[in-house]
């Protein structure tokens, strides 16, 4: 069994694989000052819920974009699972050529997503891909038909936009981001929700459309992240939603670094 940890700015996603099968996944909020012991007890509680034991785990793989949690994650794997984790960074062979101008600047999660998306949705259909990750920032990553990471686009996440609007406009209330009942808002809250939701739908369609102009019209689009399932039904720009894309990417990269051929 493989324990996979995706340490993001907003959420930490924990997954357990048996071979290629994702048996369990959990998504919890990120707290940047967690210690190794706190993380260990937290993961063990999840294991108890899933009827797993720490001794069931044969290997650990992780990707982190939160530097303050990278060290505690490594120590947690050593202390609570007695495994040396594979931490996906610029030194790890992901099997995906990185053609970014400054390869070390690309977040590990973006490469991991690209690997999983290409293997699951690109290679089988012989097509290039745009991978959209609705996280703290919304990222759009371009993967060539040959499976190369080309680069992408980084935008403020929809929740960042909502927070900025509340903080900078004194008379506007803070609202939850969700799909409104109608595009024309008849209350202030409804108007803000419409602007945030449909504004973001338009942003996705505009950026994906322009990326397809460069990559080719047959380019597919795969979305992941917290808001993917909410945004995707309202736009034809997104072909697939894969909630666990990053976890699958971690599994694939771990397998490649064990000399496996999955």
pLDDT at residue 90 greater than cutoff 90: no
pLDDT at 259 over 80: no
Burial 63-88 (b: 16+ CB within 10 A, else e): bbbbeebbebbbbbbeebbebebbbb
**Distances from the Cα of 88 to the Cα of 69, 171, 175, 210, 257, angstroms:** 14, 44, 36, 30, 10
**Pairing relation of β-strands 137-143 and 59-64?**
unpaired
More confident: 10 or 199: 199
Q: Kindly tell me if the per-residue pLDDT of 91 is higher than 60.
A: yes
Q: Residue 111 phi/psi, 5° resolution?
A: -65, -45
Torsion over CA: 178, 183, 188, 192 (sign):
positive
Query: Using the 8-state DSSP alphabet, how is residue 86 labeled?
Result: E
In the predicted model, what is the mean pLDDT of residues 65-75?
94
Report whether pLDDT(260) > 60.
no
What CA–CA distance (Å, rounded) separates 167 from 164? Answer: 5
pLDDT at 173: 78
Q: Give which of 45, 16, 42 is closest to 30, Cα–Cα.
A: 42
| C-alpha 45: how far from chain center | 23
Domains of the chain: residue spans and CATH: 2-87 (3.30.420.40), 103-249 (3.30.420.40)
- For the segment 103-130, what is each residue's pLDDT rounded down to a tens digit? 888 888 999 999 999 999 999 999 999 9
Active site residues: 109
Mean pLDDT value of segment 214-240: 94
- pLDDT of res. 135: 86
DSSP, collapsed to helix, strand or coil, labels residue 207 as helix
Is it the case that residue 262 has pLDDT exceeding 60?
no
Torsion of CA 129, 134, 136, 141, to 10 degrees: 10
Residue showing tokens 């945030």: 196
Closest-CA residue to 14 (of 226, 246, 241): 246
92 vs 238, more confident: 238
Supply the DSSP symbol for 96: S
Q: In which residue are the tokens 């909410």 written?
A: 230
The pLDDT of residue 216 is above 80: yes
The string over 123-160, giving b where at least 16 C-beta atoms fall within 10 Å of a residue's C-beta and e elsewhere, is eeeebbbbbbbbbbbbbbbbbbbebebbebbebebbbe
Please give the Cα distance from 117 to 254 (Å, whole number). Answer: 16
Give me the mean pLDDT over the 237-253 stretch. Answer: 96
pLDDT in tens, 159-195: 888 888 887 776 777 788 888 888 998 898 889 889 9
Q: Give me the percent of the chain exceeding a pLDDT of 70.
A: 98
143: closest CA among 35, 7, 255, 249? 249
The whole-chain average pLDDT of the chain stands at 91
Taking 60 as the threshold, does the pLDDT of residue 144 lie above it? yes
Q: Is the pLDDT of residue 210 over 70?
A: yes
Report whether pLDDT(18) > 70: yes
Lowest mean pLDDT among 33-37, 72-76, 115-119, 167-171: 167-171
Q: Alpha carbon of 204 to those of 59, 151, 180: distances in Å?
A: 37, 16, 17
In this predicted structure, the answer to whether residue 258 has a pLDDT above a threshold of 70 is yes
Q: Does 45 have pLDDT greater than 60?
A: yes
| Per-residue pLDDT at 21 exceeds 90 | yes
């Amino acid at each position: 069994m493989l324990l996979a940890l995706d340490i993001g700015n907003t959420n930490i996603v924990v997954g357990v694989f048996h071979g290629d099968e994702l048996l369990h996944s959990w998504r919890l909020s990120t707290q940047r000052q967690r210690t190794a012991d706190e993380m260990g007890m937290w993961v063990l509680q999840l294991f108890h819920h899933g009827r797993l034991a720490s001794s069931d785990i044969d290997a650990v793989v992780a990707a982190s974009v939160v530097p303050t949690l990278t060290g505690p994650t490594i120590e947690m794997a050593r202390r609570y699972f007695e495994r040396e984790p594979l931490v996906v960074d610029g030194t790890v062979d992901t099997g995906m050529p990185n053609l970014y101008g400054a390869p070390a600047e690309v977040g590990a999660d973006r490469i991991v997503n690209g690997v999983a998306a290409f293997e699951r949705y690109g290679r089988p259909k012989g097509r290039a891909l745009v991978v959209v990750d609705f996280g703290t920032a919304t990222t759009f990553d371009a993967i060539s038909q040959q499976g190369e990471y080309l680069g992408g686009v980084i935008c403020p996440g929809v929740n960042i936009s909502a927070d900025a609007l509340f903080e900078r406009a004194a008379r506007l209330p803070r609202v939850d981001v969700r799909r409104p009942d109608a595009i024309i808002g008849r209350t202030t809250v409804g108007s803000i929700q419409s602007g945030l939701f449909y504004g973001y739908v338009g942003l996705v369609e505009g950026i994906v459309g322009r990326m397809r102009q460069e990559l080719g019209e047959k380019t597919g689009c795969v979305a992941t992240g917290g808001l993917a399932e909410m945004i995707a039904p309202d736009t034809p720009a997104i072909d697939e939603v894969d909630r666990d894309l990053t976890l699958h990417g971690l599994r694939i990269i771990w397998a490649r670094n064990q000399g496996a051929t999955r």
